[in-house]
Amino acid sequence: MKTYLDCLPCYLNQALRAAKMAGANPEVSYKIMSDTAAFIPQLNMKASPAENGTKVYQIVFDETGESDPYHAIKRQHIDDALAILPELEAIVEDSDDPLLTAIRIAVAGNIIDLGIPDKINLVEDVRKILKQDFALFDYKQFCERLDKASSVLYLGDNSGESVFDTILIKALKKPVVYAVREHPIINDVTYDEAVLSGLDKVAEIVSSGTSAPGTILHLCSNEFIDRFNKADMIISKGQGNYEGLSGETNPVFFLLKAKCKPIANDLGVHPGDIVLKSLV
């Protein structure tokens, strides 16, 4: 997916948010905003938003020395999600189609605001999301591909959402390799957060080799690219991974909520829609 004009204001919003998270003072925050603005005319509009966005977080690191501004919030989101995990597992067990319910819960992890402190409301929110219709729903192809696959490569997205991923991974009933970012970027799941989320108990955790906030293949390690190209089936969570992989030809299933206009336009859906889309 290319970078849209609507993505450009978003870079400044992201820079401001990351500067605040990194505890930057007003002068440093101004420098971060200024450098991000100056970068915009130079970015490659044919590259994905996630690839261009990497530079924003590099600027924040250069100016603050903080390599993981979202560290505390990632831990909080994981704790919030773990607190409701038993209830979510019960929902799957009680359902007529546990695989589909697990898919819905995995996409719910991409939707809900895990910052909500009230455990009961969080479960209620998930229950509401479980009733939302998919705008794109390649479930039949998903089941067929899963049936034939000897293993699944699962591309993680955010921390906290990663706890929800354990539920879908169990429901797949296949060996799963769970890919995380090599270095911290925004609130994306890295090895440490994956372990805290319990993913080491249900999957083999590997790094994609990149610190981009998405799976941008040419920025990934050769080892990961080889694994990606040989995978029987790939489940790709969230926008950042979609942005990097929408132009590939591998057996990828995108599972995400379209949170912004550029992504929604690119998918042919509306902002707020949820999607299970087969790439091939």
- Which residues lie near a second copy (CB under 8 A)? 5-6, 8-10, 12-13, 16, 19, 26, 29-30, 33-35, 37-38, 40-41, 45
- Closest separation between CB of residue 49 and a second copy, Å? 14
CA distance 234 to 171: 15
- Closest separation between CB of residue 20 and a second copy, Å? 9
* Among the listed residues 144, 168, 142, the one whose alpha carbon sits nearest the alpha carbon of residue 156: 168
CA distance 215 to 223: 14
- Closest separation between CB of residue 15 and a second copy, Å? 8
DSSP 216: -
Q: Looking at beta carbons only, is 26 or 86 nearer to a second copy?
A: 26
- Closest separation between CB of residue 28 and a second copy, Å? 11
Q: Looking at beta carbons only, is 32 or 111 nearer to a second copy?
A: 32
Evaluate whether 151 touches 232 at the Cβ level (below 8 Å). yes
- In degrees, rounded to 5, the angle at the alpha carbon of residue 89 between the alpha carbons of residues 85 and 91 is 120
Evaluate whether 33 touches 16 at the Cβ level (below 8 Å). yes
Q: Looking at beta carbons only, is 8 or 85 nearer to a second copy?
A: 8
Helix 238-245 vs helix 49-64: crossing angle, to nearest 10 = 120
Q: Looking at beta carbons only, is 40 or 99 nearer to a second copy?
A: 40
Q: Looking at beta carbons only, is 38 or 280 nearer to a second copy?
A: 38
- Closest separation between CB of residue 4 and a second copy, Å? 10
